[in-house]
């Protein structure tokens, strides 16, 4: 054997060993994270009021919301994912209890958030248990969400008419399409998928800038579909790239490719990923600042929730790509997971109100939920852990 061939064989062996060691380390990290989540949520369970959902923790007090709040599905969804990994019966008992509390949301039609509310909760419950009653509730919820579709603008209306908006559609709405397409492909009306596709296409046409960053809010004429304004509600400015909004966009188009296999959605997701991962303001630990364009960076809050959403989305996007591109997505998601599970972003056991992550930012311009734990940060972090375990 020549020296060159010896080098090749040696390099191959080292690569295999390194990969095996890396896989073992991530397996241990993920196992430890779910064990930690089990303990933390056992603590959280005993502080949650019977008729409310946990949202955050501030000034030593648990912050809760009514079941009509857009985040009401994240707590039961998180519980189901923890139960799936730990098989703790107390976690499942709480998951089932909270599902009963939010069930009436299945006919909720006042805004677009029904996917967050009912698919993150009942979707996980049905995936794990295959209980047909959960499926029926998802199908009813999808039908309710479809009533907000406005044919004139070929999109789902996010909020009803407000003082500053006539027909607002926010990038967050891409996330609610998952319930529509899933329902359509699992016994629901085929029109549900048509609505989701129409909304995704309209959003792709109007929500994105040439660099594939997304506006937060597009205001439409509901009857004609004319774009009236491109603005923000939670970002730094109308022209800035609000970090969590970029995460919603990346996740949404990756998910739409999963269901439809329409290459346009894959390309859109790839371009959004490039914007995020190549952004000069993205820190080394890959946990973004709350807005990519805040001129006060680095002296502004981070958003752990955005990182969790982006990590989960990148892991799925890695399933549809290959080579260096796939490696970039998976490595970036891995770094986000490692960062979020480290001392800087993760709670200490029994602290932070029972939430898993610290340092999320809800609505900085609204002076709301700044540098606090948020229930959806936990949810998408748990989903990212599960996806890494299942796929890599």
Q: Residue 2 burial (CB < 10 Å; 0-12/13-18/19+)?
A: exposed
φ/ψ of residue 20, rounded to 5: -65, -40
Q: What is the DSSP letter of 115?
A: I
Query: Which member of 111, 113, 303, 378 is catalytic?
Result: 113
322-325 long-range contacts, CB within 8 A, separation 24+: 325/270
Residues 6+ apart with CB under 8 A from 357: 304, 305, 308, 340, 345, 346, 347, 373, 374, 377, 378, 381
Q: Can you tell me the distance from the alpha carbon of 310 to that of 128, in angstroms, rounded to the nearest whole number?
A: 24
Report the largest interatomic distance among the alpha carbons of the chain, rounded to a whole angstrom.
Answer: 77
Q: Can you tell me the distance from the alpha carbon of 385 to that of 312, in angstroms, rounded to the nearest whole number?
A: 8
Told to judge if 113 belongs to the known catalytic residues of this protein, a careful annotator would answer: yes
Told to judge if 172 belongs to the known catalytic residues of this protein, a careful annotator would answer: yes
Residues 6+ apart with CB under 8 A from 379: 74, 77, 78, 81, 120, 308
- The Cα-based distances of 180 to 69, 109, 119, 260, 301 in angstroms read 20, 14, 9, 12, 34
Query: Which member of 172, 219, 291, 303 is catalytic?
Result: 172
> Is 205 in contact with 197 (CB distance < 8 Å)?
no
Question: Would you name the residues annotated as active-site residues?
Answer: 113, 172
């Amino acid at each position: 054997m020549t020296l060159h061939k010896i080098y090749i064989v040696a390099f191959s062996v080292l690569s295999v060993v390194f990969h095996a060691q890396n896989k073992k380390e991530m397996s241990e990290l993920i196992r430890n994270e779910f064990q930690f989540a089990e303990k933390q949520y056992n603590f959280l369970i005993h502080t949650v009021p019977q008729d409310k959902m946990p949202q955050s923790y501030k000034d030593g007090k648990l912050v809760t919301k009514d079941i009509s709040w857009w985040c009401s599905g994240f707590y039961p969804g998180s519980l189901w994912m923890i139960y799936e990994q730990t098989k703790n019966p107390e976690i499942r008992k709480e998951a089932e209890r909270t599902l009963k509390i939010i069930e009436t949301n299945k006919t909720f039609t006042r805004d677009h958030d029904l996917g967050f509310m009912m698919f993150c909760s009942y979707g996980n419950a049905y995936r794990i248990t295959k209980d047909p009653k959960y499926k029926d509730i998802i199908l009813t919820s999808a039908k309710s969400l479809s009533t907000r579709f406005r044919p004139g603008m070929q999109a789902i209306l996010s909020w009803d008419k407000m003082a500053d908006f006539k027909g607002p559609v926010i990038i967050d709405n891409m996330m609610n399409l998952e319930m529509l397409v899933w329902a359509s492909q699992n016994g629901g009306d085929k029109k549900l998928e048509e609505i989701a596709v129409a909304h995704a296409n309209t959003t792709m046409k109007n929500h994105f800038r040439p660099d594939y960053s997304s506006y937060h809010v597009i205001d439409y004429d509901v009857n004609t579909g004319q774009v009236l304004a491109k603005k923000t509600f939670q970002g730094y400015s109308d022209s800035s790239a609000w970090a969590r909004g970029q995460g919603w966009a990346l996740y949404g188009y990756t998910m739409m490719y999963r269901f439809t296999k329409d290459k346009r959605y894959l390309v859109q997701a790839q371009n959004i990923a490039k914007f995020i991962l190549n952004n000069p303001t993205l820190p080394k630990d890959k946990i973004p600042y709350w807005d990519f364009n805040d001129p006060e960076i680095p002296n502004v809050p981070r958003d752990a929730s955005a990182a969790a959403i982006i990590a989960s989305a990148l892991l799925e996007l890695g399933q549809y790509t290959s080579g260096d591109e796939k490696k970039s997505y998976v490595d970036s998601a891995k770094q986000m997971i490692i960062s979020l599970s480290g001392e800087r972003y993760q709670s200490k056991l029994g602290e932070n109100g029972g939430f898993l992550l610290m340092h999320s930012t809800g609505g900085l311009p609204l002076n709301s939920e700044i540098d606090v734990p948020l229930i959806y940060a936990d949810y998408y972090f748990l989903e990212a852990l599960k996806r890494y375990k299942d796929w890599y």
